[in-house]
C-alpha cells in the first residue's frame, strides 16, 4: 500500500534517528499508522514507475510492490492485476544489461524511498528508507524473528531467499511466454539492502525494439507463500554474445538430490496461483521449515550470471552496442512534483518541525 503522506514526511525528516521514546511520542501524536510494505526492483526501465494513472507522476507509488497470490494467470502475469503492464517506460528508456558486466537496481517498498522519488531525499541503506534494520526481539528460545519493517520475509540477511531477472527476446510483451522468459541472473541473500547489483552472462543482442525482462522473488517463509513478477523494457549493451538463449524448462525441487536439478535454461517460478503454476512443493526443507520454491540451490539456481542458458556457438549474431547516456538510475536533476505538491510538502515539514519543538518543550518541562 502507498505510504501515507505523514509517514513520507517523517522519513524526509529522518525521524527514525531520534531517541525511541521521543520518536514514538511524535509518531503517535501525528496519528501515523505503522506501514508494512513489500518490495519491488526500481529502475527507469521498469513498467509503471510513475504509477498506473494516466497523466500522473506518483512519487508515492507502491502497488507494484504487492505480492501475487491466488490470481488467474491473466492477472498475475506481469502484474496485470493493477494494470502495471499497461504503463511502459518512455520510448528509448531501457534497463540496460552490460554483456558480461553488472547492473544495479533499487529494492524498495515504495518509489519514495529510491533515487527516483522526491529527488532521492528519502533513500536509506534499506528498502524502507532506513539506514539500519530494526531487528525484532529474540524469541524465548533465543531464535530470531521475522523482520517486518521492511517486510522482506526473513529474520536476517543470510536467510533472504534470493531474487532474479529473466529475459525474453521479443519487444512485444504479448509474445512473452514462460518458455521464452529465461532466468539469466540470480542474486543470493536478497532482498536485503536497497542497492542490488546483478551479474550478466554473455547475452546476445536484443531485437531493435529491445527485450522484455522481469524481476522475480519468492520468499522463504515469514508469511504467506506468494510470488513477485515485475516487468521491464530491457536491452543488452556492450560486446554481445554469439549464442542464442535456449527455451526454458520449469525448475524442480532438488535440495535433497542435486541430480534432479534442471540443467540449462530455467523458467521463473510461478506458484500459489489459481492457474498457470509451473511448480508445486509439499513437505519440509532440510532446515525443517515448510518448503518454498525459492530462487537458490534448492531449485538448482546458482548465484550470479546463469552461464548454462545458451544454445550452440554462432546461433546469434554478435555486435557492439553503446550504452545510452540516459539509461541511468541516478536521481533526477529536479523534482517532478507539482508546485502545489511541493507547497504541501513544505507545509507538512514545517508542521512536523513545530510538533517536534512543542513535544521537546513539553517533555523538558516535566524533566
Going residue by residue through the chain (367 aa), what tens digit of pLDDT does each one get?
555 545 555 555 544 444 444 444 344 333 323 344 589 999 999 999 999 999 999 999 999 999 999 999 999 999 999 999 999 999 999 999 999 999 999 999 999 999 999 999 999 999 999 998 877 777 777 777 777 777 777 767 888 899 999 999 999 999 999 999 999 999 999 999 999 999 999 999 999 999 999 999 998 877 778 999 999 999 999 999 999 999 999 999 999 999 999 999 999 999 999 999 999 999 999 988 889 999 999 999 999 999 999 999 999 999 999 998 655 434 333 333 343 443 344 334 444 544 554 544 454 444 4
pTM over 0.85, yes/no: no
Rounded Cα gap, residues 114 and 126, in angstroms: 10
Rounded Cα gap, residues 71 and 81, in angstroms: 8
3-class state of residue 76 by DSSP: helix
Break the chain into its structural domains and give their ranges: 36-325
Report CA Rg, the chain: 22
Q: Which helix (H) or strand (E) segment is 195 a member of?
A: strand 195-199
What are the DSSP E strand ranges found in 28-144? 40-42, 95-98, 102-108
C-alpha cell at 347: 507545509
Q: Is the separation of the CB atoms in 294 and 209 below 8 Å?
A: no
pLDDT at residue number 367: 47
Q: Is the separation of the CB atoms in 249 and 263 below 8 Å?
A: no
Calculate the alpha carbon distances from 24 to 5, 108, 116, 354 in Å.
17, 23, 29, 16
CB burial string 9-47: b at 16+ within 10 A, e below: bbbbbebbebeeeeeebbbeebebeebebbbbbbbbbbb
Rounded Cα gap, residues 151 and 144, in angstroms: 15
Give the closest residue to 204 by CA, choosing from 164, 176, 167.
Answer: 167
Give the closest residue to 224 by CA, choosing from 158, 283, 146, 165.
Answer: 146
C-alpha cell at 197: 547489483
Angle between helices 339-366 and 5-12 (to 10 degrees): 70
pLDDT at residue number 356: 52
The CA angle 282-283-286, to the nearest 5 degrees, is: 125
Angle between helices 20-29 and 339-366 (to 10 degrees): 120
Burial of 168 (0-12, 13-18, 19+ CB in 10 A): buried
pLDDT at residue number 327: 52
pLDDT at residue number 326: 56
Contacts with 127 (C-beta within 8 Å, 6 or more apart), sequence order: 37, 39, 107, 108, 109, 113, 150, 152, 191, 193, 194
pLDDT at residue number 27: 42
C-alpha cell at 280: 508445486
Length of the chain: 367
Amino acid at each position: 500500500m502507498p505510504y501515507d503522506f505523514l509517514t513520507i514526511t517523517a522519513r524526509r525528516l529522518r525521524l527514525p534517528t531520534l531517541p525511541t521514546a521521543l520518536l514514538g511520542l511524535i509518531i503517535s501524536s501525528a496519528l501515523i499508522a505503522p506501514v508494512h510494505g513489500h518490495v519491488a526492483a526500481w529502475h527507469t526501465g521498469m513498467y509503471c514507475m510513475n504509477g498506473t494513472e494516466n497523466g500522473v507522476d506518483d512519487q508515492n507509488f507502491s502497488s507494484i510492490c504487492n505480492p501475487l497470490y491466488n490470481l488467474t494467470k491473466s492477472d498475475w502475469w506481469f502484474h496485470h492485476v493493477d494494470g502495471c503492464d499497461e504503463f511502459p517506460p518512455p520510448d528509448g528508456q531501457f534497463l540496460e544489461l552490460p554483456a558480461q558486466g553488472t547492473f544495479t537496481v533499487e529494492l524498495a517498498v515504495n518509489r519514495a524511498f529510491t533515487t527516483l522519488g522526491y529527488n532521492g531525499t528519502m533513500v536509506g541503506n534499506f528498502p524502507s528508507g532506513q539506514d539500519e534494520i530494526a531487528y525484532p526481539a529474540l524469541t524465548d528460545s533465543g531464535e530470531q524473528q521475522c523482520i517486518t519493517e521492511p517486510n522482506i520475509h526473513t529474520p536476517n540477511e543470510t536467510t533472504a531467499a534470493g531474487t532474479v531477472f529473466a529475459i525474453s527476446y521479443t519487444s512485444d510483451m504479448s509474445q512473452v511466454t514462460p518458455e521464452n522468459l529465461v532466468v539469466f541472473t540470480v542474486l543470493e541473500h536478497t532482498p536485503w539492502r536497497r542497492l542490488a547489483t546483478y551479474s550478466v552472462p554473455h547475452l546476445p543482442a536484443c531485437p531493435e525494439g529491445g527485450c522484455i525482462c522481469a524481476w522475480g522473488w519468492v520468499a522463504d517463509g515469514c508469511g504467506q507463500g506468494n510470488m513477485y513478477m515485475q516487468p521491464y523494457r530491457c536491452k543488452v549493451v556492450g560486446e554481445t554474445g554469439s549464442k542464442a538463449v535456449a527455451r526454458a524448462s520449469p525448475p524442480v525441487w532438488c535440495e535433497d538430490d542435486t541430480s534432479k536439478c534442471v540443467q540449462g535454461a530455467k523458467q521463473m517460478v510461478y506458484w500459489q496461483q489459481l492457474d498457470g503454476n509451473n511448480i508445486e512443493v509439499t513437505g519440509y526443507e532440510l532446515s525443517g521449515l515448510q518448503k518454498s520454491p525459492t530462487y537458490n540451490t534448492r531449485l538448482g539456481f546458482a548465484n550470479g550470471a546463469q552461464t548454462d542458458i545458451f544454445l550452440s556457438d554462432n546461433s546469434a549474431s554478435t555486435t557492439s552496442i553503446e550504452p545510452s547516456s540516459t539509461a541511468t538510475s541516478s536521481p533526477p536533476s529536479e523534482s517532478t512534483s507539482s508546485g502545489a505538491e511541493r507547497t504541501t510538502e513544505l507545509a507538512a515539514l514545517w508542521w512536523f518541525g513545530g510538533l517536534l519543538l512543542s513535544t521537546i518543550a513539553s517533555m523538558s518541562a516535566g524533566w
